[in-house]
Amino acid sequence: MHTRIAIIGAGFGGLGAAIRLKQRGRDDFVVFERAGELGGTWRDNSYPGCACDVPSQVYSYSFALNPEWTSTYSPQAEIWAYLERCADRFGVRPKIRFGTDVLSADWDPTERRWQIVTSQGTWTADVLVAAGGPLNEPVVPKLPGMETFRGEAFHSARWNHDARIQGRNVAVIGTGASAVQIVPAIQLEAQRVTLFQRTPAWVMPRRERPLRSWEHRLYKRIPGAQRAMRSLVYWQIEATVLVFLRPALMRLAQRAALANLRKAVPDPGLRAKLTPAYRMGCKRVLKSDDYYPALTRANVEVVTDAIAEVRPHAVVTRDGTEHPADVIVFGTGFRVTDLPIAERIRGRDRRSLAEHWQGSPQAFRGTTVAGFPNLFLLLGPNTGLGHNSVVLMIEAQLSYLLDALDTLERKGIRAVEPTPEAQARFVARVDRRMAGTVWATGCHSWYIDATGRNSTLYPGSTWGYRRRMRRFDPRSYREVSA
């Protein structure tokens, strides 16, 4: 079977690509989704308390505003339902092949198209859009003795809803964005929650509030009002990029975070455990109104000693202390800089993306890769954000993709790839700009790849990136012949 455009993944990126293609009159595409439902990250992460830490008004497609958000920060179920509605509203659900895992995608230099092997058959495509996203492959540490544990154990992104939390001892390993939502949600019903912390996070108040009925009525009756609010919220949080780009400015935010910690955690011992020793922003800054208060409750303990082993009914730290556990929850993140999909996509020289990248993903404008014709990555290397909505970056890349398709067809070109020189210049510019940011102040984070390079974040404003991605730049590409 053949299609003009093959899309991998039906999350925000893949679904957005399908919708924008259809809006432009392009119907010759197919979306491969390995799961039985669409939604990506917002389908997989259904743990208690799961919500977005980016304001609702900007965490949506610009072409599909949602006047029905119930809160200033959207809960997981609402975001997932929003994506479901978008698929139906724009008529792209029939284009999604559910339960179809892409096993390999190889560029055929003779036919100048992609040969795609899936779990449901083989396809060919002229253009390949990889939209698997960076937060889809959980990381679970290999702890000694884990195989002896007799309770339930699972990653936050694979929450076992059959596992009983009420009245039980729950061990939460990790203190990232998932854990700060999980702990307050389960603390109310668990007998005891033991939080194993390797590195404390900087936490700012979220100041979440419900959206009022008059706001819903206003947004439904006057869509322009919601668009204006979206613009206001966008510029408010877009301005915060300055403190990430200028570490000296981050000291002001750091003082506010410490004041928040002092106010929420009166116990000096616990407060000391929760006080980071690195510059704020070097790791992901977390937002929560209830995380610190939850940690002060009598049935919650923060453990900073390293884990030595797991026993049938306990997690044991290096000091020999046994911490009873009936359930273990891993809030230990994802494979962000070593995406498994990179091992399955092979370019002109038959080598995979993973082999080309050698532990440090690189792409021209975070979207196209030298040696991989007609491949477009959504949320590829150096397109992540520390301050705003990644949906904005996705839409910028989709504009670039659409203009690239128009350009190729107008010029009668079958396949292009960025020149190695253009890609090297872009990566070098990103690295130079990254060097002066808060992300380069010395901490170890999931932004950093195996080579020590920050290949995850974009060191600039979304406004600047979107402006650069409005038009496809043929001068940075070369035509690929047989």
- CA angle 174/178/182 to nearest 5° reads 90
pTM of the predicted protein model = 0.96
DSSP, res 109: T
Of 300-309, 335-344, 352-361, the least confident: 335-344
Q: Please state at what angle helix 213-221 crosses helix 223-238, rounded to 10 degrees.
A: 110
CA 194, CA 322: separation in Å to the nearest integer? 11
Question: Is the pLDDT reported for residue 425 higher than 70?
Answer: yes
Query: What pLDDT score does 247 carry?
Result: 92
CA 357, CA 342: separation in Å to the nearest integer? 9
Query: What pLDDT score does 136 carry?
Result: 87
Element of type H or E holding 229: helix 223-238
DSSP, res 7: E
The 10s digit of each residue's pLDDT in 194-224 is: 999 999 999 999 999 999 999 999 999 999 9
Contacts of 138 (CB under 8 A, 6+ apart): 155, 156, 157, 158, 330, 332, 333, 334, 335
All domains of the chain in start order, with CATH = 2-137+335-479 (3.50.50.60), 146-207+240-330 (3.50.50.60)
Q: One-letter amino acid identity for 227? A: R
| Burial environment of residue 248 by CB neighbours within 10 A (0 to 12, 13 to 18, 19 or more) | exposed
Q: Please state at what angle helix 76-89 crosses helix 12-23, rounded to 10 degrees.
A: 20
**Residue 424 Cα distances to 32, 338, 355, 440, 449, angstroms:** 31, 20, 17, 20, 18
- CA angle 53/57/62 to nearest 5° reads 120
Contacts of 85 (CB under 8 A, 6+ apart): none
Question: Is the pLDDT reported for residue 482 higher than 90?
Answer: no
The 10s digit of each residue's pLDDT in 103-113 is: 999 999 999 99
Look at strands 2-8 and 121-130 and give their pairing. parallel
Mean pLDDT of the residues in the chain: 97
Query: What pLDDT score does 287 carry?
Result: 96
300-311 mean pLDDT: 98
Length of the chain: 482
Query: What pLDDT score does 321 carry?
Result: 97
CA 260, CA 359: separation in Å to the nearest integer? 38
| Burial environment of residue 22 by CB neighbours within 10 A (0 to 12, 13 to 18, 19 or more) | middle
Query: What pLDDT score does 407 carry?
Result: 96
Query: What pLDDT score does 135 carry?
Result: 87
**Residue 289 Cα distances to 180, 209, 231, 260, 294, angstroms:** 10, 11, 25, 10, 10
- Buried residues in 80-112 as b, exposed as e (16+ CB within 10 A): bbbbbebbeebebbebbbeebebeebbbebeee
Tell me the DSSP string of 282-322.
SSPPEE-SSHHHHHTSTTEEEE-SPEEEEETTEEEETT--E
